[in-house]
A and B are shown apart, each in its own frame.
Chain A
């Protein structure tokens, strides 16, 4: 899944190249150019190229077969992903992939809340894998850009990464954002890091002094990104040492670099502390709540910068010791010198071409060390003997006798007392010829309730029973050979009652007439032969 950004950038390059094809200063109305502009141009093209993988996500989202991803704004989510990784990583460890995926999935969910959380997780991992560019061999992106020089148009390739998977010192898998990725966030060109760092702090300072907290927010974030970027550069240098001390020139270049970095950090530390003092003052004297909150957020960001600087300083101060330890380790440890093996060309392809008998021998040489170890079970004779003479536990095929448990019957108390049910029977024992209104029944019920202190909630019981019985099927009544069936018909009259609302139903008892056909064929499913005496 190599993201091919090539078609886009040469266009930008050659498009600009048309008016600079002939570098004849000032002549013939050509707009003049100089070397500085050219260098700046290359930087701008590169800055543009680093965003290409992000746009590419939006371009490719419609091609995903698994689901419809077109509702998601992939470039935005990718920026979020880089942001999450960048903020989470510090000098010691990177961002934990699971945490990043979880936070990213939350942002995905915000874009399409009606989709399933499973899909949100899939989108999040799709974005992360594309930013890592998992499918490609070198896990990176490549673009071609051109610069017009004295010898004509000169094409160069620019390789970059956005996110990287690395293993931390504890063997856990971490994500780290690259320099280019942070540049994408800052929205800036490739520049000298220290200068950019100073500039970001100065800008933040001025904005705070002028009380423009809104803009200061962005500037503070910018300063933080620069801090992270700077820390990342230091970390990479120091890591190179622990991989192989010979990578790094510890005689001159590295001590000079560390001195410079320490000086830079101390300076930044002072500057940011000054900013923090100003900022706390702004926060404490802020007149509105929102301004106070804004200032408080800024304080948090600047504190984070200071914390990172502390960490960097500690890292730099121990760098010398780390070098000496690594030097001891690497110089005196016996490192088995292994030639770089090309597994594909030197092992896989040749072995596939061999007859099975030969391939078998060679592949077994690979399999055993590559598969690791098995630890055989060590059995003591004493244990084996014990195991063998122990009689097998007697097990009844039917299992143990099931004990009858002494259970207390915990019956739910009846909702309505028995007296109420007796009254209900009397109430609903209607004459088939004389249907009644529900309101009449309710009035009757209330009268009976007042007369009998045992009866409770009788009106409610009447309503429940009328609604339940009225819904009963005629088939059941016929099967049971009931003489009558209770019916309720809504004729549009509205019930006027203090406790109940709805239609004032006509409640009637209808006679079930067993026809001759039903007698002969007592099929409960055939109800249409019943003659219903509707009210």
Chain B
């Protein structure tokens, strides 16, 4: 912390204000445009370096990281792994009735990654603050399933389309898990089943909408959503963390940044789902 003269004068008050700004960040649906006090704190964060340092210190103590500050979405913070504010997959997935096993966790996380990928299909979209993505429940489901189908085709072509070992279920490829899970098992009365992939994607998008990262636009295609600027910031952070993890495992590559999505072939059925 390097307090300037502005903050030392009333450092207790400044800490209270800094904490208040962090508290605003914990209510993701609040926006500076709707709350004059929030807007004032955001301006102060920008103009007063001492105050900004204080906010970061408060975040550090709470195991949070400041990702972005902007008049549109206010302060965006991300949790570190140990933070009490982190959304834990075991908590998130348990509520769907799953057993919290690796398969279940992977499917739920894939729903989130699929939504982010469809919302920002090209690298340029993720770095463009003005870009508004659009996702629908059926669209995300079809999108991930299509990616799995491609991997399945590739596996057949390569001749290693062996069924997974029964003794080591954790060695089964992720795409097989997704492909095996039914999109919508019949519930008899047309409702979604939480354990279907459609149900998981719907849960993910509803959850993100509750977090102020998506806004619901219509009920078409199982629910259509538009992204907010906050979602872009969080996806960029989440993506870079996951990228680092994959890089450590040595299983991803650096691309030239032009995007690869055009290689995915869409069948007529998938297009009609969008």
Contacts and interface: CB of A to CB of B under 8 A. Distances in A.
Question: Do these two chains really belong together in a complex?
Answer: yes
Given A169-B33, A340-B127, A371-B211, A352 B175 contact: yes
Contact of A369 (B68, B129, B151, B234): B234
A166 interface: yes
A333 B71 CA distance: 14
Given A371-B87, A371-B207, A349 B249 contact: no
A361 B57 CA distance: 29
Interface stretch (A301-309, A373-381, A400-408): A373-381
A173 B255 contact: no
A355 interface: yes
A169 B129 CA distance: 11
B234 A363 contact: no
Interface in A190-249: 239, 243
Interface residues of A, number: 60
Given A170-B31, A359-B174, A364 B103 contact: no
B234 A370 contact: yes
Nearest to B74: A171
Contacts of A355: 170-174
B148 A352 contact: yes
B182 interface: no
Nearest to B264: A344
Contacts of A135: 271, 274
Contacts of A329: 46
Interface string B243-263: 111100101111101011110
Contacts of A361: 245
A251 interface: no
A389 interface: no
B72 A352 contact: no
A341 interface: yes
Given A371-B87, A373-B85, A341 B236 contact: yes
Closest 10 CB pairs of A and B: A363-B109, A372-B211, A170-B33, A370-B238, A345-B260, A340-B123, A366-B242, A369-B238, A357-B170, A359-B174
Interface of B: 26-28, 31, 33-34, 46, 67-69, 71-73, 77-79, 81, 84-89, 91-92, 102-103, 105-106, 108-110, 112-114, 116-117, 120-124, 126-127, 129-130, 132, 134, 144, 147-148, 151, 169-175, 177-178, 207-208, 211-213, 215, 217-218, 220, 226, 228-229, 234-246, 249, 251-255, 257, 259-262, 264, 271-272, 274
Interface of A: 1, 65, 97, 125, 134-135, 137-138, 165-167, 169-173, 239, 243, 329, 333, 336, 338-376
23 contacts: A166-B132, A167-B130, A167-B229, A173-B132, A173-B215, A342-B257, A343-B121, A343-B235, A344-B147, A345-B255, A347-B242, A348-B147, A351-B246, A355-B170, A362-B245, A362-B249, A366-B112, A366-B238, A366-B239, A367-B238, A369-B241, A372-B211, A373-B28
